[in-house]
Structure 1
Amino acid sequence: MTFLENMPRVLFFTGKGGVGKTSTACATAVRQALAGEKVLLVSTDPASNVDEVLETRLSGEPTSVNRVENLFALNIDPRAAAAAYRAKAIEPYRGVLPDAVLENMEEQLSGACTLEVAAFDAFTELLADEQVTEGFDRVIFDTAPTGHTLRLLSLPRAWTGFVADNTTGSSCLGPLAALEKQTALYARAVEILSDENQTRLVLITRPDDSALKEAARTSGELLELGITNQHLVVNGMFKATDANDRVAIALEALARNALSDMPEQLSHLPVSTIAMSANPPIGIEGLKTFFESSSGKAAAEQERVYTTPKSADLTRFIDGLADSGRGIVMTLGKGGVGKTSVAVMIARRLAERGLPVTLTTTDPAAHVHDAVGQVTDNLVVERINPVEEIERYRSEVLADAAHLDDDGRALLEEDLRSPCIEEIAVFQAFSRTVFNADNRITVIDTAPTGHTILLLDTAQSYHREVLKRGDAHSEEVTGLLPRLRDPEFSRLLICTLPEATPVHEAADLQEDLARAGIKPAGWVVNQSLTPLEVTDPLLVSRRKREADYLNEIASRHSDVMYLLPWQENGLL
């Protein structure tokens, strides 16, 4: 394995959702620990599933991994980090300031800015504070899907510049004293990320066009951040062993053609490949054999009778949307489960019926334009662009602040340069998109799960704040949660794959939605082998294993399940 040779102390694993970042990161951590290194594995993904893969319950502190000596792991939980951040900021003033002032401080520190900067602080300390990771021979980061990761990696530079240029001593988080104390640590983080002797960035991809394009885009943006020590890992390589299995032949050809047309941006990178496995790499024993070339062979298993539940009719779902002629459809789920493909398919079918449809995305790593292909009549394709939304937000806020004196305006302009502003601006754009769905159907391809949940958390906190203050755009914001909770207006589809981790993460997402008072319209199980005739041993083994997860969905998670067969282009 090229990327495992001459490794520096810090490794980052990133890439498009669902390509196997966590599996590869965990397998690398296990391999190095078994070789005698003391390893710390860190997940920065708000929707982390490292616990399940390592079969160990983790927290925000290093936890010893079951059955692997020398291996420790932790999850950076944004909510827990934010709670700790608030406590640290407010505690010195308890008993000093009035309770009303403390309550106001807590309210100010309850938004998306605090979530982001708190998680960022935890990440930066693990990356740059040698005392925090002292005693570990190696630190491995399993990161969130690409868009969130790029934002995370850009934050050290962004915050360093913001603190250095700030002249008012204030930010969206209040006084800058705490941030100033961290400036040296932020600068150190930038240095480590850019030093190939200290950090290696491992780009994980699948052998398909979409994942490779995303990897190429990520590689270019990382180079702009000064991160040059990049290695490419192609996960899930498949070789057919049955020449009569059309699905197997198509799957092998798909991988071969995608790699032969690899984007130029990736051509200079060292490349490693990992074979497709019949079994999901969950558990220590599976991780130990993850890098073996024989993992592509079908697992030996006893013959068993298996049944699968009946699929609901997605055409009837689309018929219901067409009859209503208004509202939103949201596709949600773990990265790489086909949210974009499902969103594009629904939008195109509605547009083909003559209905006015908008297709948009909240994903920072948006690739909906690539997936939609040629735009048909009645279909408008948009994207919530963070750069444009930040500029729109700043202009609107400054226009509403014409009454401020020079000092007040300077303070406000300083505040609007904060890296935290992006979350607020994107939230407003999301609210506006939902608000404008009264006279057309809007299909929203959302970011991978963790980012989406943060967005919905923002919706709740802003809803409360707007009710108190009566801000501009209050109708869009206050109407957001009631609309998301209205099943006649909002149809949320949880997308997944017939595999352990995507199904279990989808179940967690459904619980989070329930806490916000939102009920999904159903589950979409994408790229399933179950409806297909396959004879290749590896594919037969994988199809049998799908039955367990399909039955789990039907019996425990949802009364409505739409089963979509594997397609070469991911679309129906």
Structure 2
Amino acid sequence: MFTSYNPTNLVKTPFLFFTGKGGVGKTSTACASAVALADEGKKVLLVSTDPASNLQDVLEMSLTNTPQQVKSVENLYACNLDPKEAARKYRENVVGPYRGKLPDAVVATMEEQLSGACTVEIAAFDEFTNLIADSSTISDYDTIIFDTAPTGHTLRLLQLPTAWTGFLEESTHGASCLGPLSGLGEKKDLYSRTVKVLSDPKQTTLCLVSRPEISSINEANRASTELRGIGINNQILIMNGVLQTSVSDDAVSSSFFQRQQLALNHFPKKLKELPIYEVPYVSYSLTGIENLRYLFSNEFLPSVEDEVNDIHTEISMQKLNDLINDLSTKRIIFTMGKGGVGKTTVASALAVGLVEKGHKVHLTTTDPASHIQNMFAEDSYNKNLTISAINPVEVVEQYKKEVLSKASTELDDEGLAYLQEDLNSPCTEEIAVFRAFAEVVAKSEDEIVVIDTAPTGHTLLLLDSAQNYHKELARSTGDVPNSVKALLPRLRNQNETSVVIVTLAEATPVLEAARLQEDLKRANIEPKWWVINQSLYATKTKDQTLLGRAHAEKAWIDKVKNELAAQSAIIPWIAEEKIGYEEIKEYVEL
């Protein structure tokens, strides 16, 4: 459908930035690009700034923040910057001067406000800015590839003058994701020059990586629009993992192919305007130099039959029905996980399963109401199942207006501009949506509430600290409603609440889910169950390409089962989406 992606024919700039939602294949595509360019004789530096980086796994070597040569590739060097450590130093640089001078609760709030994903991204930006600004480093390489680019939100925030002042010292809305950049204030000019490099089409190419899935394509479109809005226009779209053919007598293979084709035929208009390239869906794991070399060669890596002949053996994992039985004693159930792993489907299946056990259930979601309505469209709801949908756009706008209205009397125009951009951070949506969820729970009586998409531990700690901060300083504008105050303690009560983490049996979704679990534990919330969704390993596919991928899933299934989850269940990849109450009920029997 699209031109095959081959960096040796396309790369015209010294800097390449790869970006995209988790699990789309940024790292493998960046690594394969680096190997291909190095094999062509270019001297290449590959840099990861991803806090959940698996660069060392893909290259099969240990990495540090100092560039070192990649074995078997003469011209390739790689380093793995640690944005978490950079964020720790950044946090201490900002908060340290206030220790002993401000109340402990205020210092704790400042620390938590600087513990989110956006702060890690700022710190990562600082790390690769140091590389770009180092003239000796630049002169040493023909091409520098960055695995994970900053979002438009972060770049816009860096451009605001107030971001470089002690904003947190003077005012806060009690739910800030980023806080001030005063700890890096001396680098303002350096950051400005770096943003100009990103915007220069002669120096930088932004590679948006997506999968042929509707949610992934929509995310790529959002990122593209956001980055174009700040002048980063030299973009290409790489559609990763496109299945080239299907096996006609294999329902899994045929459905897999058709789903991809459906997604590829529904591109947003603006995204179609970009140069679009595709990378094939391959049967082998994209780890190791030789496998990476095959990716752009238009050759098929021979299947190793002995490696896949065990994939149809019975998997000794629990089923969704086992999870539902365990949840029957709970009052509040959250499904959590990164976008695209199937949280809404799992939440719907849990709700239906619990109704079938005789419970009254309320299912609420942040997906557009039409999606939930479509899932249950062909049936009238069971009388014991009620459904609601929260529109995140509406509740976020309402929350922003509330915060800005309260802050408008205290801040000048620059301060308001900074606060407005800070409110565009991911934590703002989590907080606003959680407040809406809390209202639903507060109104529910004698029923189990199943909530699709929950806030991270960081956001929950922000809500907690906002209460403490309000007690210490009247200038806080981040009021926490009584419904939220009542719900927070209930979430920590494992007799009443259960968090179900949903993932796919792939590297990035599992690693990000593990990080999410650690985040929740910081907030004293212990997830008990993991669900591995859409597993090819659990199917009976005969397609050799899918069989290879199914075999690659086994290591991640074992990691979830034996290392990460107290209990785990698996759902096989299904040939078609279940629509309607009766069909959704079939998930319980898989």
TM-score by length of 2: 0.77
Given that 1:369 and 1:381 are in contact with CA atoms closer than 8 Å, whether structure 2 keeps it comes out as yes
Tell me how far apart the structure 1 counterparts of residues 562 and 18 of structure 2 sit (CA, whole Å).
35
- Which of residues 329, 332, 337 in structure 1 aligns to 2:334? 329
Task: Give the aligned residue type for 1:222.
Answer: L
CA-CA distance at 1:502 after TM superposition: 3.6
Matches within 5 A, 1:422-437: 422-423=424-425, 425-426=428-429, 428-429=431-432, 431-433=434-436, 435-436=438-439, 437=441
% identical equivalent positions: 30
CA-CA distance at 1:566 after TM superposition: 0.9
1:360 aligns with 2:341: no
Distance 1:164 1:275, change over 3 A: closer
CA-CA distance at 1:327 after TM superposition: 1.8
Tell me how far apart the structure 2 counterparts of residues 501 and 125 of structure 1 sit (CA, whole Å).
22
Given that 1:308 and 1:550 are in contact with CA atoms closer than 8 Å, whether structure 2 keeps it comes out as no
CA-CA distance at 1:10 after TM superposition: 1.8
Tell me how far apart the structure 1 counterparts of residues 493 and 214 of structure 2 sit (CA, whole Å).
37
CA-CA distance at 1:198 after TM superposition: 1.7
Task: Give the aligned residue type for 1:112.
Answer: Q
Given that 1:48 and 1:75 are in contact with CA atoms closer than 8 Å, whether structure 2 keeps it comes out as no
Given that 2:103 and 2:472 are in contact with CA atoms closer than 8 Å, whether structure 1 keeps it comes out as no
- Which of residues 366, 374, 389 in structure 2 aligns to 1:381? 389
CA-CA distance at 1:357 after TM superposition: 2.9
3-state SS of the aligned residue for 2:111? coil
Distance 1:456 1:76, change over 3 A: farther
Specify the alignment match of 2:459 in structure 1.
455
Spell out, residue by residue over 1:273-295, the C-alpha distance to the aligned partner (whole angstroms, 9 max, x if none).
21212222123332232323234
Given that 1:63 and 1:72 are in contact with CA atoms closer than 8 Å, whether structure 2 keeps it comes out as yes
Given that 2:23 and 2:507 are in contact with CA atoms closer than 8 Å, whether structure 1 keeps it comes out as no
Given that 1:124 and 1:189 are in contact with CA atoms closer than 8 Å, whether structure 2 keeps it comes out as no
CA-CA distance at 1:309 after TM superposition: 3.4
1:314 aligns with 2:320: yes
Tell me how far apart the structure 2 counterparts of residues 549 and 164 of structure 1 sit (CA, whole Å).
41
Tell me how far apart the structure 2 counterparts of residues 396 and 90 of structure 1 sit (CA, whole Å).
25
Given that 1:341 and 1:371 are in contact with CA atoms closer than 8 Å, whether structure 2 keeps it comes out as no
Task: Give the aligned residue type for 2:404.
Answer: R
Spell out, residue by residue over 1:234-283, the C-alpha distance to the aligned partner (whole angstroms, 9 max, x if none).
21122346432222222223323332343333333222221212222123
Given that 2:115 and 2:458 are in contact with CA atoms closer than 8 Å, whether structure 1 keeps it comes out as no
1:372 aligns with 2:349: no
Specify the alignment match of 2:153 in structure 1.
154
Specify the alignment match of 1:75 in structure 2.
81
Given that 1:12 and 1:143 are in contact with CA atoms closer than 8 Å, whether structure 2 keeps it comes out as yes
Specify the alignment match of 2:404 in structure 1.
394
Specify the alignment match of 1:527 in structure 2.
534
Specify the alignment match of 1:163 in structure 2.
162
CA-CA distance at 1:123 after TM superposition: 0.6
Matches within 5 A, 1:108-507: 109-113=110-114, 116-117=118-119, 119-120=121-122, 122-124=124-126, 126-127=128-129, 129-131=132-134, 133-134=137-138, 135-143=140-148, 152-163=151-162, 181-240=186-245, 242-295=247-300, 298-301=303-306, 305=310, 307-315=313-321, 317-318=323-324, 324=330, 326-333=331-338, 335-346=339-350, 355=360, 357-361=362-366, 371-372=371-372, 374=374, 378-385=386-393, 386-396=396-406, 408=410, 410=412, 414=416, 417=419, 419-423=421-425, 425-426=428-429, 428-429=431-432, 431-433=434-436, 435-436=438-439, 437-440=441-444, 441-446=449-454, 452=456, 454-456=458-460, 458=462, 461-462=465-466, 465=469, 472-473=479-480, 482-507=489-514
Matches within 5 A, 1:13-92: 13-58=18-63, 61-64=65-68, 66-67=70-71, 68-69=73-74, 70-77=76-83, 79-89=84-94
Spell out, residue by residue over 1:410-431, the C-alpha distance to the aligned partner (whole angstroms, 9 max, x if none).
4996486263345564454255
3-state SS of the aligned residue for 1:486? coil
CA-CA distance at 1:564 after TM superposition: 1.0
Task: Give the aligned residue type for 2:113.
Answer: A
Given that 2:22 and 2:509 are in contact with CA atoms closer than 8 Å, whether structure 1 keeps it comes out as no
Answer with 350-359 or 39-48: which moved more: 350-359
Spell out, residue by residue over 1:313-358, the C-alpha distance to the aligned partner (whole angstroms, 9 max, x if none).
424544665765x42413225x543334323544576789895635
Given that 1:200 and 1:230 are in contact with CA atoms closer than 8 Å, whether structure 2 keeps it comes out as yes
State how many pairs are aligned: 541
Tell me how far apart the structure 2 counterparts of residues 280 and 98 of structure 1 sit (CA, whole Å).
48
Specify the alignment match of 1:403 in structure 2.
none
TM-score by length of 1: 0.79
- Which of residues 535, 542, 553 in structure 1 aligns to 2:549? 542
Tell me how far apart the structure 2 counterparts of residues 357 and 327 of structure 1 sit (CA, whole Å).
10
Task: Give the aligned residue type for 1:432.
Answer: R
Given that 1:332 and 1:494 are in contact with CA atoms closer than 8 Å, whether structure 2 keeps it comes out as yes
Tell me how far apart the structure 2 counterparts of residues 164 and 467 of structure 1 sit (CA, whole Å).
26
Given that 2:49 and 2:81 are in contact with CA atoms closer than 8 Å, whether structure 1 keeps it comes out as yes
Distance 1:238 1:314, change over 3 A: same
3-state SS of the aligned residue for 1:526? strand
Tell me how far apart the structure 1 counterparts of residues 423 and 343 of structure 2 sit (CA, whole Å).
27
**RMSD value over aligned CA atoms?**
4.1
Task: Give the aligned residue type for 1:130.
Answer: A
Distance 1:463 1:30, change over 3 A: farther
